[in-house]
Structure 1
Amino acid sequence: MKKMMLKLLLAVVKFLCIIGLLYLSVALVLCIPKVLGTLEKNRLALIAGGAFVVGLPLFCFLRLNSLYVFGHELTHWVMAKIFLRKTGRFQSGKNAGAVEVENPNVWIILAPYVLPFYLLVVIGLYGLIMLIANASIHPYAVKAFAVLLGLSYAYHVILTFFALRSGQADLKMKGKILSLMMVVTGNLLFVFMALIMATRQWRGGFKALTQQILAQAEFVIDVMQRIVDKF
């Protein structure tokens, strides 16, 4: 009886998490275009956006699977170390890889599907170059950096899509629907944060997101009220 109650409680918690993530995803989808509207003033963001659009069809054909698998497994490993988990054997091949992690949590399991490993590498290298060059970098180098940002994120999106499509075992460990919602919401949140950083709209971006969340709440309450009134 206790096991049944626990299973039921876990099922309810998972369902509420899925609804919450779906709710946040809708808010992010509706807010992102508002932030995108200000990119006309930001040349580097436009260059990165253009590279991203070009990269989407490019990486559908040029997948570089070995590179993706290495970044994927390394992300698992890094997250495991952040959460102080013991790690063992690390394998990376052309089409598959694995890393042994003791008692992995959901963040370790899903990290490679949300965090764009090579984009973070590009940002890290740029920061290192800025530090060495004392912030004096040639304008063309900055534009090249913007192109690499767009291409690396396009690579993450496309290869993540193909990885999910192939039926990754990672998604089944904590429930497929919940895992997919966490991946989708995580990627949308990453894009939203990247955009408000690029446009420097910290206050305006979060204000727009808060307003959208409240507007959705009003809509849901209104719909529920109408349903109750009919009965």
Structure 2
Amino acid sequence: MRGEVRGWQVASPGGVGKLWEQAKDWQHGITSMSATQRTQRERARKRLEEQRRIAELRQRSQGRDALLAKLPKVDRDRDRDHNPDSGRKRKFLLGLLMLPLCLLALLTFLDLLFTETVKGEFWKSEGFWFFGSGCVCWLCMGWLRREPGLMYVFAHEMTHAIAVRLSGGRVHDMHVGPDGGFVDTDKTNTLITLSPYLVPFYTGVVFAIFGLLSLLMDMDREWILPWFGEGLRLKGVWVFYFMVGLTWCFHLTFTMQVLQTEQSDLLHNGEFFSMMLIIFINIVILVVLFIAASPKVGWSDVYEDLRGLFGWMWRMVF
């Protein structure tokens, strides 16, 4: 029969063209579907790789020490041969010896602060007001939930890294993220592990900037800013006091928050010894800041207070 080809009913030559177009459309659909599937599969693979990388970073930052030490094999074997309890006992005894030092440092600071504030009218000085304003500003930021956690993680890990370099070690890797961070190094000691709790990183940065600017300009010079009515008076030293108060309070509050959680840095050196050392160094730093801000208090006053308090404690005990 004309027009019949092996059971296929072909009505006209135009029908053949339509069938050919349908076949091409069907083939193009398969090709497009395969390309789409390949794209989706590639995206899924990339997502899995990214999730795996993030999980690995979190595991490294949470499951390992904030400071990772790549010790040689000899050192690891030596650590296993020694009794770890003996090291903890030594650190505990050192902590007991530091307890009266912490008490002396605290009483000395409180006595200097009380004497200078009440009798010397330290509360009227520029240093007191602007340092206190910086502290209050930071506390208000915390009350408003404007705490830059990432900035603290950066300061924490950067202080670790600087302590490593000062100790003669090498930093192999460093990670800073909102969930935590770590420093990978070939050296570790008490200074390295506890340095972020002892040294206010951003306060040190403020001191460095102030020192450099002091070489270029007079920081006690009064500037008039014309943006507020008749003008706002401003001194560079006022900004310095304010930033020192803000950054020191930043360091203090974050350190207190971090110490409330279980920290491997403290466990590595013994919690009691670590706490005594942290308290002592931070009080000493506060005394140094107080002396720098007070126009009348000097190190001779600190010495006299320490001698009197030590004699009083000696008579109380013996």
Residues 215, 54 of structure 1: alpha-carbon distance in 2 compared, 3 angstrom cutoff: farther
Q: 1:94 aligns with which of 159, 178, 201?
A: 178
Partner Cα separation in structure 2 for residue 149 and residue 29 of structure 1: 20
Q: Equivalent residue of 1:173, what SS?
A: helix
Partner Cα separation in structure 2 for residue 144 and residue 78 of structure 1: 26
- Conserved 8 A contact 2:134-2:243: yes
Unaligned runs of 5+ in 1: 222-231
- Conserved 8 A contact 1:59-1:154: no
Partner Cα separation in structure 1 for residue 220 and residue 126 of structure 2: 18
Equivalent residues in 2 for 1:197-212, closer than 5 Å: 197-199=292-294, 200-212=297-309
Unaligned runs of 5+ in 2: 1-80, 117-121, 223-233
How far residue 12 of structure 1 moved from its aligned partner, in angstroms, is 4.7
Q: What amino acid maps onto 1:146 in structure 2? A: Y
Residues 142, 176 of structure 1: alpha-carbon distance in 2 compared, 3 angstrom cutoff: same
Partner Cα separation in structure 1 for residue 130 and residue 280 of structure 2: 25
How far residue 172 of structure 1 moved from its aligned partner, in angstroms, is 0.8
- Conserved 8 A contact 2:138-2:246: yes
Q: 2:110 aligns with which of 10, 33, 49?
A: 33
Q: 1:173 aligns with which of 263, 268, 277?
A: 268
Partner Cα separation in structure 2 for residue 103 and residue 210 of structure 1: 39
Partner Cα separation in structure 1 for residue 131 and residue 96 of structure 2: 33
Equivalent residues in 2 for 1:1-231, closer than 5 Å: 7-8=85-86, 10-37=87-114, 38=116, 39-40=122-123, 42-59=125-142, 61-133=145-217, 137-138=221-222, 139-199=234-294, 200-221=297-318
Residues 155, 94 of structure 1: alpha-carbon distance in 2 compared, 3 angstrom cutoff: same
How far residue 180 of structure 1 moved from its aligned partner, in angstroms, is 1.5
Q: Tell me the TM-score normalized by structure 1.
A: 0.85
- Conserved 8 A contact 1:76-1:99: yes
How far residue 181 of structure 1 moved from its aligned partner, in angstroms, is 1.5
Q: Which residue of 2 aligns with 1:227?
A: none
Partner Cα separation in structure 2 for residue 73 and residue 94 of structure 1: 12
Moved more, 17-26 or 70-79: 17-26
Partner Cα separation in structure 2 for residue 11 and residue 173 of structure 1: 9
- Conserved 8 A contact 2:104-2:310: yes
Structure with greater Cα Rg: 2
Q: Tell me the TM-score normalized by structure 2.
A: 0.63
Question: RMSD of aligned C-alpha atoms?
Answer: 2.2
Residues 205, 81 of structure 1: alpha-carbon distance in 2 compared, 3 angstrom cutoff: same
Partner Cα separation in structure 1 for residue 289 and residue 97 of structure 2: 22
Q: What amino acid maps onto 2:207 in structure 1? A: I
Q: Which residue of 2 aligns with 1:225?
A: none
Larger relative contact order, structure 1 or 2 (CA cutoff 8 Å, min sep 6): 1
Q: What amino acid maps onto 2:98 in structure 1? A: L
**Identical pairs, percent:** 24
Q: Which residue of 2 aligns with 1:229?
A: none
